[in-house]
Amino acid sequence: MKKIRITQVKSRIGQPLRQKRSLDALGLKKMHQTVEHNATVQILGIVESVKHLVTVEEI
């Protein structure tokens, strides 16, 4: 299974609650924090909803 590395590059301040909860679900609490996840359909869907706040790279 492919893995992806997700890094938060923009602030969550001023974003809707749903997007803040999506970042929490990914495990991102701070700016420039990086997490690694398997590239499942669920994770990719969450990333799609906050794509303007994060960068994604394949590992």
Residue pLDDT, tens place only, 8-30: 999 999 999 999 999 999 999 99
Return d(Cα 13, Cα 5) in angstroms, integer.
22
Task: Assign domain 3-58 to a CATH class.
Answer: alpha beta
Q: What tokens does 10 get?
A: 């923009």
User: How many percent of the chain have pLDDT more than 90?
Assistant: 98
| Whole-structure pTM value | 0.92
Q: How confident is the model over 51-58, as a mean pLDDT?
A: 97
Residue 58, beta-bridge partner list:
4
Q: What is the pLDDT of residue 5?
A: 98
Q: What is the pLDDT of residue 1?
A: 85
Q: Domain limits of the chain?
A: 3-58
Q: What is the pLDDT of residue 42?
A: 97
